[in-house]
Chain A
């Protein structure tokens, strides 16, 4: 259920669950307000994708994914695909970054705005229907596809 902060796409809102950084760095990060239970927003990715600006309260701070990947969060506005129960229909809201990843999805016909139906979702593998075609996605991939449940 926990997602690494760096996996969230721009515009996501999440709640911080766990900060897993080395002690000294943790003190600074905590001092900046990265405290479990607080809301965090993904504001902007740098032109070369890394680092990313996050917003906590009205404080904006840039973190590299090497650090952000050690901060675990629970998404608020989107949920990752693997959390959707069988039988639901959902809309793709956002996709995590990764060129190869995006290419793969494009081949499946998956893009932001597309509707997908969850046919099966059992431990690790999710079978989905996109435009009448059926695909199977692993949990890793499914944690990078953010959706909104429609029905």
Chain B
């Protein structure tokens, strides 16, 4: 039998860790229908049944403020799942219970309450009366630790038990509010009963949400019941009643901790968010992260490159000649030059996972928030921009956590200007060929990309919105030691997008490029590709880019790193061969070489990024906007570089 289980909980309670402990590597990352927010599903076979888990986004309330909250609430209220598991943190049970009450109010599905991090709680001397809680709440309670995997099997057993005997479980506990609130609830319930369209709804929940001023629910019911009186301050009283009950439960069933588990966290925070050294530490961590990403990866990348060279050598002797060319120049050359970056990308995501799991990411956002405030966005978007240095795709996906759709859109459309790792090979090739000190040119282009991103944020804020700052409310979780297993899963879930990209988009574009450059004449100079490049070359007359460069730029739209491989194909040489560098030196000078770097930095994000923009915004409009916007900016900036550069030299 197949049992669908929805997992919800507050952020930072170890929800993902427990999900990993439950499902191991049997995970699939897909999309939520319609909104295309990433949806994580995992499987476990347990005593002859297939348990399917859905990891809902972490929330504090079941409001309708952010996309995450809406997704979690829709799944809990209307989803197909058979059972809802609410996960809480043993060290901050208060908010966990608060969410649990809301879930119990909202859903008619069986609910299981999980108290996670029980190992940490025990160390802190906290004793939880599980049976007492079970009796009071009238639902199963399971104590787990994602770290030691304690209680994970018990949770699976409970799921089977609840599923097979739904009758014993519920009527679950339903929170009774004070007299005044109950009367207000009943009044709305009576109104709802008069309307046929609410027959299938949970009327009590709708009534409570109405009183809480929930915008989505209000919109739904004001059509049928236009004259609603909502007593003032009742929203606060509802929350207050919930918290009152939470504290009663805690008083009765949970003993106080014998020492403050926050001691160590606070000590670390004293340093990491320090008035004077907080920002330098943040910059140092960023620097170290990228240093490790590229230094550790270097030997690995070299061996990948060596392997593909060896492979291309073998295939180049096959007959017929066109097949040999397709295999070694097209496929192996094209895809190989991309796979070289796999080590960087995986190491980068490992480090990102490390910073996220330890809890430092929240501190980073906290420390630099003020800078972003001037740009009318929050420190939270800073994280997306940092991710953008790795790859625009996860960076754009990370904007989901933002409550404010305006901030999200501005961030999402500006992230592509951050130099992602795929642009690095293009920079390295050009800088290495034309600058005496390639490091300075590299630093220059990264610095430039940050400036352009900043300006873009300002432009978009002005263009789309009048730009009021969005609220920045972010939890500071306690610091935790990350678990390697979780880091590996995080790294794989994020990094594999790049592998898929190499396998699909890049493979196809490599073949297309080869085809265009081989036919009809069998040589590059008279190929279709050359024709195309020559056609648009006049646009870059001032830039003095030759047709090989303009052709490569066209192909670079599929993925930025393709600029290198297609240029190599067009020149008819290996990528790291001296010929390639020599050809570049002959066709460019330092000024228009830097202009080319700027153009590559800013113009059209790759296919994968465009596809992500479309899926995350749910509209073709923003994708098309992004294409036009980035080409325009790239063209203008590179033109400025050329003109100013020449003036300076002359």
> Chain B residues with Cβ under 8 A from A33's Cβ?
94-95, 98, 243
CB distance from A11 to the nearest CB of B (A): 13
Does B223 sit at the interface, judged by CB under 8 A?
Answer: no
Cβ B367 vs Cβ A46 within 8 A? yes
Q: Mark A18-59, 1 if CB is under 8 A from B, else 0.
A: 010001111111111101111000001111111101000111
Cβ A25 vs Cβ B95 within 8 A? no
Tell whether A64 pairs with B373 under 8 Å between CB atoms, given A31-B63, A47-B276: yes
Docked Cα-Cα span, A53 to B477, in Å, equals 11
Does B36 sit at the interface, judged by CB under 8 A?
Answer: no
Docked Cα-Cα span, A36 to B235, in Å, equals 12
Cβ B279 vs Cβ A28 within 8 A? no
Cβ B370 vs Cβ A67 within 8 A? no
Among candidates B60, B91, B94, B472, residue contacting A28 with C-beta atoms closer than 8 Å: B60
Among candidates B91, B279, B473, residue contacting A61 with C-beta atoms closer than 8 Å: B473
Docked Cα-Cα span, A67 to B65, in Å, equals 16
Does B369 sit at the interface, judged by CB under 8 A?
Answer: yes
Cβ B369 vs Cβ A51 within 8 A? yes
Within 8 A of B (CB), among A51-96: 51, 53, 57-64, 66-67
Tell whether A23 pairs with B471 under 8 Å between CB atoms, given A30-B236, A35-B236, A37-B240: no
Cβ A29 vs Cβ B94 within 8 A? no
The chain B residue with its CB closest to the CB of A18 is B236
Among candidates A48, A50, A62, A64, residue contacting B476 with C-beta atoms closer than 8 Å: A62
> Chain A residues with Cβ under 8 A from B365's Cβ?
62
Docked Cα-Cα span, A28 to B99, in Å, equals 11
> Chain B residues with Cβ under 8 A from A23's Cβ?
213, 215, 235
A-B contacts at CB below 8 angstroms, number? 129
CB distance from B556 to the nearest CB of A (A): 39
> Chain B residues with Cβ under 8 A from A19's Cβ?
236
Tell whether A36 pairs with B275 under 8 Å between CB atoms, given A51-B366, A61-B475, A64-B472: no
Tell whether A64 pairs with B235 under 8 Å between CB atoms, given A27-B212, A27-B214: no
Does B469 sit at the interface, judged by CB under 8 A?
Answer: yes
Cβ B94 vs Cβ A25 within 8 A? no
Tell whether A60 pairs with B475 under 8 Å between CB atoms, given A30-B236, A46-B367: yes
Q: How many residues of A contact B (CB 8 A)?
A: 35
> Chain A residues with Cβ under 8 A from B261's Cβ?
58
Cβ B98 vs Cβ A31 within 8 A? yes
Among candidates B65, B236, B278, B469, residue contacting A47 with C-beta atoms closer than 8 Å: B278
Docked Cα-Cα span, A51 to B368, in Å, equals 9
Cβ B367 vs Cβ A47 within 8 A? yes
Does B219 sit at the interface, judged by CB under 8 A?
Answer: no
Among candidates A30, A37, A58, residue contacting B92 with C-beta atoms closer than 8 Å: A58
CB distance from A38 to the nearest CB of B (A): 8
Cβ B369 vs Cβ A35 within 8 A? no
CB distance from B368 to the nearest CB of A (A): 8
CB distance from B472 to the nearest CB of A (A): 5
Among candidates A25, A32, A46, residue contacting B60 with C-beta atoms closer than 8 Å: A32
CB distance from B223 to the nearest CB of A (A): 19
Give the residue among A24, A37, A38, A45 with the most B Cβ atoms within 10 A. A24
> Chain B residues with Cβ under 8 A from A45's Cβ?
275
Docked Cα-Cα span, A26 to B213, in Å, equals 9
The chain B residue with its CB closest to the CB of A66 is B469
Does B546 sit at the interface, judged by CB under 8 A?
Answer: no
Within 8 A of A (CB), among B60-96: 60-61, 63-65, 91-92, 94-95
Docked Cα-Cα span, A37 to B378, in Å, equals 29
A residues engaging B (CB < 8 A)? 19, 23-33, 35-38, 44-51, 53, 57-64, 66-67
Show 8 A/B contacts (Cβ-Cβ < 8 Å), sorted by A.
Answer: A24-B64, A29-B473, A30-B61, A36-B240, A37-B240, A51-B379, A58-B262, A61-B475
Across the A-B interface, give the 10 residue pairs with the lowest CB-CB distance, nearest first.
A31-B61, A48-B370, A30-B239, A23-B213, A60-B476, A31-B60, A47-B278, A27-B63, A24-B65, A64-B472
